Structure 1
Amino acid sequence: MSDGKDDGGAAPGRRRRSWTLDEKRRVVDESLAEGASIAEVARRYDLNANQLFTWRRQLAVEPAGLSDLAPILPVTITPETAAEYSGPAPTCQMEIVLSEGDRIIVWADVEAAALTRVLKALSRR
């Protein structure tokens, strides 16, 4: 016999827990603490780690350090025709122009890890 409550498809005999917004914030804040493990925090509250990630997105929080990164700027790709281009034969390279006017030119063989280190160093200036 049903008690009239929706269990959301939970296993028989098991009721679905309802979390208040304050409870969710407290658990999310705990998951953002220095050295915290998402899996451990989730287990402590009998949650699936995916649910905790969902709450973090819903509450629009950023893990520590993400707000320190440089903002993402719009990129414009403009095609060059043969008549407009008078330099040497094109090579596989990319030019990155930062908001402060700094330019970085990298070739196709640049290692992603090295480029990441350079960009992070420049963003900390």
Structure 2
Amino acid sequence: MSQVQVISGVERRRRWSDEQKQAIVAAAFAPGAVVTEVARRADVNSGQIYRWRRDLRMEPSGFAEVVVSSAGPSDISASVIDVALSDGTRVQIAAMTPPELASAVVKALVHR
């Protein structure tokens, strides 16, 4: 006759709120961060963090990530806003462009 071992205890599957997922993903992809170290601290697999990042990108949030850098000359007439979309599309908008027009250009690119 064979034996069967029954292991009882707390369920291992955990539930993460969207806010927790966003915090872990943001920490994992912060400048200088290492995904595997963040995963170890959060007690998740690093592949799970990449999955959450992909899933969170698919959710329409109405906001876009903006990175501000000080590359190039400080001459205001030469200043441009460089917009890079996730599909690889890039557009440069003069810094002196009215905000309404810049917003309309970005919206047109996103919704095409």
How high is the TM-score relative to the length of structure 1? Answer: 0.40
Higher relative contact order structure (alpha carbons within 8 Å, sequence separation ≥ 6): 1
Rg larger in structure? 1
